[in-house]
A and B are shown apart, each in its own frame.
Chain A
Amino acid sequence: MNRLLTTLALTMMFVGPVLAQDKAPGSAGMLKTAEEVLARYVQVTGGKDGYAKIKSYISTGTMEMPASGLKAPVKTMGTMKPLTMYMSIDLGQFGGTTEQVVTEKATWSASAIQGTRVLTGSEEAQMKRAAAMFPELTPEKFFKEMSLEGVEKVGDEDCYKVKLTPKEGKPEMVFYSVKSGLRLKNVMTMQSPQGEMQIESQSSDYRDVGPIKMPFKAVQKFPNGMSMSMVTESIEVNKPVDDAKFKMPAAVAKQLEK
């Protein structure tokens, strides 16, 4: 019995690399470079022409942390030119509303409980990549290096594993489906003065939003085993955004002066 298991294990070990070889980047039908993978993502989610039509967006959704029982409404809005983003999370009794804002002049977070903080360095860069929503469209703006690392499964699906090294901050690994071209997962190191934390985020439920496709569900997993989900309920594009949301608070201006 033991011998049979050993033989089976050896067979599996042998078969593994052969199967992987069939799906290796550059083999027949497979993409060869990170640039190609990113370009395909842009293509399958609407193409450059589709993205060019997006001027602004407003979305609503719900964030949920099952471990703590936290459920909070989230509202996001922004413009593509200039690059802006406003996101508010209403934590209710857990701590009121928390806002994160990206403008041309500054990036900040503000909370009734914790106060206001200007974000700089890699933390600001991360926020700007999030504000861009589709960094694949203009990767040269955000990343100094990109490389195709191989093919790995995300769930049952083969994915291109692309290493993206931002101009500021640590590299992130992004996984794009070989079959659909969609971005299914990314693993990144969140950096802020509060510390570093590796977060794995899985995207799903892609739906049409005007001329492009966007994921309506994201689940983030933290190193301590906790998770957080973000379910988007609606996204409207090219509707006017509320300029008042982007007005710099006095506390931010004061911090910038220093």
Chain B
Amino acid sequence: MKQLLLLVTAMGLIGHSSLCGEDPAAAKNVTALNVQSFDKVWSLVKERHWDSEAVGESWDRARDELRPKVEAAADQDAARKVIGELIGRLNQSHFAVVPKEVYEEIEGDDDDGNNDKDGYTGLVIREREDKLIITQIHADSPAAASVLRPGWTIEEVGKRTVADFLKVARVTTKDGPMTRQTMIGLLGEKRSRGSIGDTLKLKCTDLEGKSHDVELTLTKAPGTRVKLGNFPEMQVAITSKVDDNGIGYFAFSSFFDPQRMMEAYDELLSKSSTGLVIDLRGNHGGLVILPPAIGSRLSGEGGKMGRMQMKGAKINLLMNPWADPYEKPVAILIDECSISAAEILAGGLKDLKLARVFGSRTAGLVLPSTFERLPNGDGIQYAFADYRSASGDTLEGIGVTPDEEVELTTDAYKKAADPVFARASEWIQSQSD
């Protein structure tokens, strides 16, 4: 949901309030709803923020100062700016007003009213030096069956040019915590998915500089739909395999299917005789119990992966000591779309020196946050906990820096279809020699 909201925001779908020019009674009602929304935002943050100082006297003063401005706001857009100013006083990420138009766009996301987004192309798109690059192609996908290959640059996706992507990303990341590269990665995911049977036209350039027009028909994305409690249903794809060199490869789209994930992981550890690669590229996080569980299998001593500071409680993310830990080299792959729990796992294992990290810096979007709708139809995103790594550092806004940065250049793709995996694999083999 969070990702979708950000994406829709990014695609420039937010319009201005349509309330201008309405009759006085309606305007009065709008004002009341805006004031209620302001009060709700103020109270939510006051009640749930982990740092009592941040929401102490200064937060009370902010309410006293800004509430009259909401009461005087001419329309919802003006009220939104005041609420934005209120949460801006915290000077922290993961606090944002989500305009109601974004929700309306999400609710009616498809032209045909079909919100089924199970279709995918298998493309992974990232930005490097103002170019869109196909960095990976999933096996058995429409993209894999086409002429497309990793390393090709994309000139157009559907009706959108590279310049459109860059412009949207530049505007939407101007004041927020998200980097331009992360936003473009997410936009790429959004644009390469859709309903099964949809087509996507791409204009690309191959590694030799030759242009190609490609049309892909979306097929069902791999994975299983998982519903846990009140969480929204999610499609979770798990890849677990061992190559001829005895190097295990473990990738999962999110940390959201604990039992199936850990069964696959445990089985893979028993078969990976040379080493293990955990691929967290494009992983958007999920349940926070899973990073310590994954890490625990790698240590006979256990350890602390980090700490969550919530209101009234500090929770250590504890790795239990494993009786028979996996002792072969472990490599973690990351990129700018490794988010949240993926960053906690990569950062935690790096801190504890249980894995070597390859790729590019993660998103730096670690604070656990949630969304709630407001009386005026807008939404509020707010963080309810802080996260610190085992070394006490914050990852928020900074991300995890890899031990080895792997540049995604044309030359690199001429040598290997997946330069990041290739480098990790090379390192694992060098450790076992």
A113 CB–B CB distance under 8 Å? yes
Q: How far is the CB of B1 from chain A (nearest CB, A)?
A: 15
A223 touches B310 (CB 8 A): yes
**Interface size, B (range):** 20 to 34
Q: Beta-carbon contacts of B287-330 to A below 8 Å, as 1s and 0s?
A: 10110110011000010000100111111101011110000000
Partner of B313, one of A92, A223, A250, A255: A223
| A195–B314 CB distance below 8 A | yes
Binds A, one of B97-105, B112-120, B225-233, B403-411: B225-233
Cα distance, A117 to B311, chains bound together (Å)? 26
- Whether B322 pairs with A197 at a CB distance below 8 angstroms is no
B229 contacts across to A, CB distance below 8 A? 65, 68-70, 94
Q: Is there a chain B Cβ closer than 8 Å to A11's Cβ?
A: no
Residues from chain A with a CB closer than 8 A to the CB of B384 are 224
Interface string of B172-195 (1 = CB under 8 A from A): 000000000000000000000000
Pairwise interchain contact B313-A197, C-beta atoms closer than 8 A: yes
Encoded as 1 (CB less than 8 Å from any A CB) or 0, chain B from 189 to 228 comes to: 0000000000000000000000000000000000000101
B146: interface (CB < 8 Å): no
Q: Which residues of A contact B297 (CB under 8 A)?
A: 115
Residue of chain B at shortest CB distance from A226 = B310
Complex: chain A residue closest to B314, CB-CB: A195
For the complex, count residues of A whose C-beta is within 8 A of B.
30
A93 to B259, CA, bound (A): 6
B155: interface (CB < 8 Å): no
Contacts of A196 in B (CB 8 A): 313-314
With A69-B231, A96-B258, A223-B310 known as contacts, the answer to whether A113 contacts B293 (CB < 8 A) is yes
Q: Kindly supply a per-residue 1/0 record for chain A positions 82-101, scoring 1 wherever the CB is within 8 Å of any chain B CB and 0 otherwise.
A: 00000000001111100000
Do A193 and B47 form a contact, CB below 8 Å, given A96-B259, A113-B258?
no
> Quick check: is A251 within 8 A (CB to CB) of the other chain?
yes
B96 smallest CB distance to A (angstroms): 21
Give CA–CA (A115, B302) in the complex, Å. Answer: 10
**A65 / chain B contacts, CB cutoff of 8 Å:** 229
Cα-based distance from A254 to B320 in the complex (angstroms): 13
CB distance B262 to A112 under 8 Å? Answer: yes
Contacts of A114 in B (CB 8 A): 289, 292-293, 296, 320
Interface members, chain A 69-127 (any B CB < 8 Å):
69-70, 92-96, 112-117
CB neighbours (8 Å) of A198 from chain B are 312-313
- Cβ of A67 within 8 Å of any chain B Cβ, yes or no, is yes
B320 touches A93 (CB 8 A): no
Partner of B48 from the list A70, A224, A255 (CB cut-off 8 Å) is A224
- Asked whether any CB of chain A lies closer than 8 Å to the CB of B257, the reply is yes
Find A95's partner among B226, B231, B259, B315 (CB 8 Å cutoff): B259
A67 touches B230 (CB 8 A): yes
- Those of A222-258 within 8 Å (CB) of chain B: 222-225, 250-251, 254-255
B: which residues have CB within 8 A of A? 47-48, 226, 228-231, 257-259, 262, 287, 289-290, 292-293, 296-297, 302, 307, 310-316, 318, 320-323, 384
25 sample A-B contacts, Cβ–Cβ < 8 Å, listed by A number: A68-B228, A69-B228, A69-B231, A94-B287, A96-B258, A112-B259, A113-B259, A114-B320, A115-B293, A115-B321, A116-B320, A117-B318, A117-B320, A194-B318, A195-B316, A196-B313, A197-B312, A223-B312, A223-B313, A224-B310, A224-B313, A224-B384, A254-B323, A255-B321, A255-B323
